[in-house]
Copies of this chain bind each other. A is one copy, B any other.
């Protein structure tokens, strides 16, 4: 498990504060990502979860090999940190500088001589078999939700109603949405992160659906764009450009195997470039967002597939590939699948059809 992957050279302890990393190292998923409700502290031979009485019972149930330290009025966080620092002779502690607030950092600096930065992004970006199975399971539910929602699409239904129906379907499968669904009709689809409104579906509208499933704490993220009635020639051309750009980008994930290299090793920025160039070369505006992002416990995590990314894609990584074309005031098209990178190729784990669909 994770403890074997974290090395303690130069550091006496790790303080883990982000909800998702606490889940990653301890298996306890229920601290709120909105508020600070717990910390994990790892020292060489011991693991602590610090939380308050609201959570101690459920942490006990969900974790093993962790010692639970309860924050209370008589035993505030400050005292707990002071005790642990003394007991384990912690001089240098690594904290998540990308998560810990300035205020918390100031508080903690009273108890530890040296505070250094660390993150689990790289570790988390490489998924093990169990994690990939969980993401695949989330994808399966999302594919079912998409198939279901197509049967609900009819003139007069609102964006919000579609979003609610997706949510309900996902809940019935024992899962959750991994983020608030984007449902955009007609020209609303030109806004990449449009929030669902009471806009009613009209004849000949384009329908952009970008939603995700969270099952067993692992996320899916998918996008499909479909048409009510016949797509116009302009829409068809744009749709085919997006689809082709996506296919070309995905194909990049298999190239090294073809050329006989022993292991996949691809620049994330290269994949982005392939799709981006295809779209601009066909006369469309560049994709106003990254081509894709890693996914796992969080909807967005490492790696990032963007022009500015310096990351190398490696086997075990799971990420989205989601090119889009947005014509302001007219329409937008985006298609998004999740890809698992393997030693000698890739798997596309989103199975919903991508061919142009006219309902």
Residue interface mask A18-43, B partner, CB < 8 A = 1: 00000000000010111100000000
Q: Which residues of B contact A179 (CB under 8 A)?
A: 32
Whether B308 pairs with A191 at a CB distance below 8 angstroms is no
Q: Which residues of B contact A150 (CB under 8 A)?
A: none
Smallest CB-CB separation from A328: which chain B residue?
A: B57
* Distance of A179 Cα from B308 Cα, bound (Å): 36
Whether A117 pairs with B103 at a CB distance below 8 angstroms is yes
Q: Which residues of B contact A307 (CB under 8 A)?
A: 73
A75 at the interface (CB under 8 A from B): no
Whether A99 pairs with B101 at a CB distance below 8 angstroms is yes
Shortest Cβ gap from A357 to chain B (Å): 25
Shortest Cβ gap from A277 to chain B (Å): 14
Whether A288 pairs with B192 at a CB distance below 8 angstroms is no
* Distance of A87 Cα from B97 Cα, bound (Å): 30
Residue interface mask A45-66, B partner, CB < 8 A = 1: 0000000111101100000000
- Complex copy number for this chain: 2
Whether A57 pairs with B191 at a CB distance below 8 angstroms is yes
A193 at the interface (CB under 8 A from B): yes
Residue interface mask A179-200, B partner, CB < 8 A = 1: 1000000000011111100000
A351 at the interface (CB under 8 A from B): no
Smallest CB-CB separation from A308: which chain B residue?
A: B73
Known: A30-B195, A53-B192, A289-B54. A98 touches B101 (CB 8 A): yes
Shortest Cβ gap from A161 to chain B (Å): 10
Whether A58 pairs with B194 at a CB distance below 8 angstroms is yes
Q: Which residues of B contact A88 (CB under 8 A)?
A: none
Whether B54 pairs with A288 at a CB distance below 8 angstroms is yes
* Distance of A32 Cα from B298 Cα, bound (Å): 13
* Distance of A298 Cα from B34 Cα, bound (Å): 10
* Distance of A307 Cα from B167 Cα, bound (Å): 40
Whether A193 pairs with B58 at a CB distance below 8 angstroms is yes
5 intermolecular pairs with C-beta atoms under 8 Å apart: A58-B191, A73-B308, A95-B102, A101-B101, A164-B171
